Amino acid sequence: MTVFIETDLEGISGVSTIDMVANSDPRALERLMADTNAAVRGAFAGGADRVLVLDGHGGGRNFLPGLLDPRAVQVRDVALDGVDAVFLVGAHAMAGTQNAFLNHTQSSVSWHNYTINGRRYGESGQLAAFAGSRSIPFVMASGDFAACAECLSLFGRMETAPVKTADGRNRAHCLPDGEAEDLIFEAARRAIALIPEKRPFRVILPAEIAVEFNRTDYADAAMDRHPDAERLDPRTVRRVIREIREYGDLLI
């Protein structure tokens, strides 16, 4: 059984301020490795025999060399061939979520709202939709309380590990390190048992993918990138996709 783990930085335990993320604080990166390894250990303890891990934050340059659990295989893109389930470690809530640490979708600078078929999603929705297009269930997430609540509300039964709560958008109260790691380990271990019964999240196709940008020039750039796109209003661009062949099909 193969598990794919994507990581982000905003929802990692011990990461309590916006500056820790913006500056790639050494403690943030150390906690990234600790949370990731806790999920890897949990997956193996639950019965996985192969774990793939993607550093999914800021271009994938956050893992500290030599600190990833040696049983895991680091990959460089969202390649899900042969994967049985997907985890998300370090999740954050979608843009505009109240009481959510560093809430955003894709870009806190340029993206305001992101929708699939008229419903708002965040980055967890993109991962779940891509996995679902390959009949792979999304079964585990760790992050702040709001991110975990979002995953449960959108994707139904799954295992979550809420490792902190937000104090406004740019500050969080974190669990002690060991307690957070234990929570992630147990969620990952239990998640393996959900795989046979968990239904993948499938997007109804053809699907409308839309982004409301923060400024009109960001929408202009999106139109230039996608000849098939349509301008709905000065700040909103949409595409209609008939299949999900790659992760980028879900983006604008």
Nearest to 210 by CA among 121, 98, 134: 121
Long-range Cβ contacts of 110-113 (<8 Å, 24+ apart): 110/213, 110/214, 110/215, 110/218, 111/211, 111/212, 111/213, 111/214, 111/218, 112/211, 112/212, 112/213, 112/214, 112/235, 113/210, 113/211, 113/212
Does residue 95 lie in a domain region? yes
* CATH number of the domain to which 7 belongs: 3.40.50.10780
Amino acid identity of residue 105, one-letter, is: T
Q: Please state the pTM of the whole predicted model.
A: 0.96
Does residue 15 lie in a domain region? yes
| CA-angle at 10, arms to 23 and 135, nearest 5° | 135
Structural domain of residue 46, as residue ranges?
Answer: 2-109+122-194
The total number of structural domains in the chain stands at 1
Does residue 117 lie in a domain region? no
Does residue 211 lie in a domain region? no
Tell me the pLDDT tens digit for each residue of 26-60: 999 999 999 999 999 999 999 999 999 999 998 88
**The predicted structure's pLDDT at residue 60:** 84
Does residue 166 lie in a domain region? yes
Instruction: Please tell me the distance from the alpha carbon of residue 174 to that of residue 163, in angstroms, as a whole number.
Output: 6
Does residue 212 lie in a domain region? no
Does residue 224 lie in a domain region? no
Tell me the pLDDT tens digit for each residue of 124-175: 999 999 999 999 999 999 999 999 999 999 999 999 999 999 999 999 999 9
Sequential DSSP letters for 181-201: HHHHHHHHHHHHHHTTTPPP-
Does residue 189 lie in a domain region? yes
Tell me the pLDDT tens digit for each residue of 77-124: 888 999 999 999 999 999 999 999 999 999 999 999 999 999 999 999
251 pLDDT more than 90 = yes
